[in-house]
A and B are shown apart, each in its own frame.
Chain A
């Protein structure tokens, strides 16, 4: 159940339209939205001849405050509880701190506009967050790219599974969101390299094995009263998931987030990160249980 959301925005990528679509979560118990704006330290850092830019900090804080007051008034008026954080610091560290303090059930962030190269040098906030947050993260995407995914993100989720512990946890999580879900599509993407065997039989066997495991997952959804269908795709995982989401008219992609360490992800990337950053669909990342 999602009772409290931490909504992290830089304003240009995540606005009140995203909040409105998340209000569908009220059917599943949502009652509290906490807004957060992080002024990244370099924007107000000490500069030679200027010193710490206090005036700039105040200007940015007030600009954020004005926006949040406007959003908060609209939510208060419909009986929602609203909170706010405007902090100076590192994005990922401040978000993790606020999520813990507020005991948020879901963190919503926008997709960063950074290119791959910039991410490589500065570190991706999304990667850092999914690595450190103990709760699911929804990476929200703007509307024009995908009109289907707007309105009720939990209506038709596409669950991308790789059989990992986090993927299994994602199944439980979606079952818990039953009141919001109309149908779940379960997809597994078989890596082309993995089916390069000596015979056609090997490829068919890989498909059949994956299908059997997915039918088991669909059975769990159906036992909980949620319609579910499974699909097997072949190709690069992120591309396969995107194609499946498009063909299934999914409203969101849900997947377990990787537990690879930061340096591995920095160098070779991870599928959840790639989908979170590049997919046109809102992406729900469910972390594995932390030991």
Chain B
């Protein structure tokens, strides 16, 4: 049975691409255009996987990821970061926020840098949630 996948990206073209790949793999996509919208949807929809962009208006993926991984009710949701921001910068930012007293967070389960092929994305989704 298909699972619920939240696609978070401010670019509508990227959301269309990602949701299409999710659907073609038998899962149900839901969408959010920024970190704030995504947080509301995670709370109301409890997705099995979040495909998360980083650089977005209102709230970045970095802050959202941190909120997810420090909240007991959401920390087990799988997160695939899919961004133009490189992994090293993402990890450094989390480290910097930890130093400001935010507490440590684990590395994302999956980190893909844009652009990504549909085949690679599909295979990564399958590996994450079947």
Which of A68, A69, A81 is within 8 Å of B62, CB to CB? Answer: A81
Of the candidate stretches B23-31, B51-59, B73-81, B119-127, the one touching chain A is: B51-59
A79 at the interface (CB under 8 A from B): yes
Give every chain A residue within 8 A of B43 (Cβ-Cβ).
none
How close is A100's CB to chain B, nearest CB, in angstroms?
A: 12
Are A84 and B55 interface neighbours, CB within 8 A? Answer: yes
B56-96 to A contact mask, C-beta < 8 Å, 1/0: 11111011000000000000000000001110011011001
| A77-B89, A81-B63, A83-B60 known; A72+B55 contact, CB < 8 A | yes
Alpha-carbon distance between A218 and B10 when the two chains are bound, in angstroms? 47
Query: Do most interface residues of chain A lie in helix, strand or loop, or is the interface mixed?
Result: helix
Alpha-carbon distance between A100 and B106 when the two chains are bound, in angstroms? 34
Which of B10, B60, B96 is within 8 Å of A82, CB to CB? Answer: B60
Give every chain B residue within 8 A of A85 (Cβ-Cβ).
57
- Category for how many chain A residues contact B: 10 to 19
Are A84 and B56 interface neighbours, CB within 8 A? Answer: yes
Which residues in window 53-82 of A have CB below 8 A to B?
Answer: 65, 68-69, 72-74, 76-79, 81-82
How close is A120's CB to chain B, nearest CB, in angstroms?
A: 34
Are B57 and A73 interface neighbours, CB within 8 A? Answer: no
Are A73 and B86 interface neighbours, CB within 8 A? Answer: yes
A160 at the interface (CB under 8 A from B): no
| A68-B55, A83-B60, A85-B57 known; A76+B89 contact, CB < 8 A | yes
Alpha-carbon distance between A52 and B86 when the two chains are bound, in angstroms? 33
Which of B57, B58, B92 is within 8 Å of A76, CB to CB? Answer: B92
Alpha-carbon distance between A98 and B92 when the two chains are bound, in angstroms? 28
Alpha-carbon distance between A79 and B102 when the two chains are bound, in angstroms? 11
- Chain B count of residues within 8 A CB distance of the other chain: 21
A290 at the interface (CB under 8 A from B): no
Are A83 and B90 interface neighbours, CB within 8 A? Answer: no
Which of A72, A78, A81, A101 is within 8 Å of B85, CB to CB? Answer: A72
Are A79 and B89 interface neighbours, CB within 8 A? Answer: no
Alpha-carbon distance between A101 and B34 when the two chains are bound, in angstroms? 12
Give every chain A residue within 8 A of B96 (Cβ-Cβ).
76-79
A238 at the interface (CB under 8 A from B): no
A5-46 to B contact mask, C-beta < 8 Å, 1/0: 000000000000000000000000000001000000000000
How close is A259's CB to chain B, nearest CB, in angstroms?
A: 30
B97 at the interface (CB under 8 A from A): yes
Are A69 and B55 interface neighbours, CB within 8 A? Answer: yes
A191 at the interface (CB under 8 A from B): no
How close is B53's CB to chain A, nearest CB, in angstroms?
A: 10
Are B84 and A76 interface neighbours, CB within 8 A? Answer: no
Are A81 and B57 interface neighbours, CB within 8 A? Answer: no
Alpha-carbon distance between A74 and B96 when the two chains are bound, in angstroms? 12
A102 at the interface (CB under 8 A from B): yes
A129-169 to B contact mask, C-beta < 8 Å, 1/0: 00000000000000000000000000000000000000000
Are B56 and A76 interface neighbours, CB within 8 A? Answer: no
Give every chain B residue within 8 A of A77 (Cβ-Cβ).
89, 92-93, 96
Give every chain A residue within 8 A of B59 (Cβ-Cβ).
81, 83
- A residues sitting closer than 8 Å to B (CB atoms) are 34, 65, 68-69, 72-74, 76-79, 81-85, 98, 101-102
Can you give 11 contacting A-B residue pairs, CB < 8 Å?
Answer: A34-B57, A72-B54, A72-B85, A72-B89, A73-B86, A76-B85, A77-B96, A79-B99, A81-B62, A83-B57, A84-B56
- B residues sitting closer than 8 Å to A (CB atoms) are 10, 54-60, 62-63, 84-86, 89-90, 92-93, 96-97, 99-100
